[in-house]
Homo-oligomer: A and B are copies of this chain.
Amino acid sequence: MAVQRRNTRQRALVLEAVRGRCDHPRAEDIYRDVSAADPRVSRGTVYRNLRLLQEQGEIMCIKAPGGDRFDLRCDAHCHVICTACGSVADTSTPYDALMDGAVEDETGFAVSCHTTLFEGVCPSCRALAQGA
Contacts and interface: CB of A to CB of B under 8 A. Distances in A.
Contacts of A92: 106
B104 A109 contact: no
B83 A108 contact: no
A122 B117 CA distance: 22
A100 interface: yes
Interface in A81-132: 82-83, 89, 91-93, 99-100, 102-104, 106-123, 126
Contacts of A123: 108-109
Interface residues of A, number: 34
A106 B63 CA distance: 22
A27 interface: no
Given A114-B119, A118-B113, A107 B93 contact: no
A121 B109 CA distance: 5
Interface of A: 63, 65, 78, 80, 82-83, 89, 91-93, 99-100, 102-104, 106-123, 126
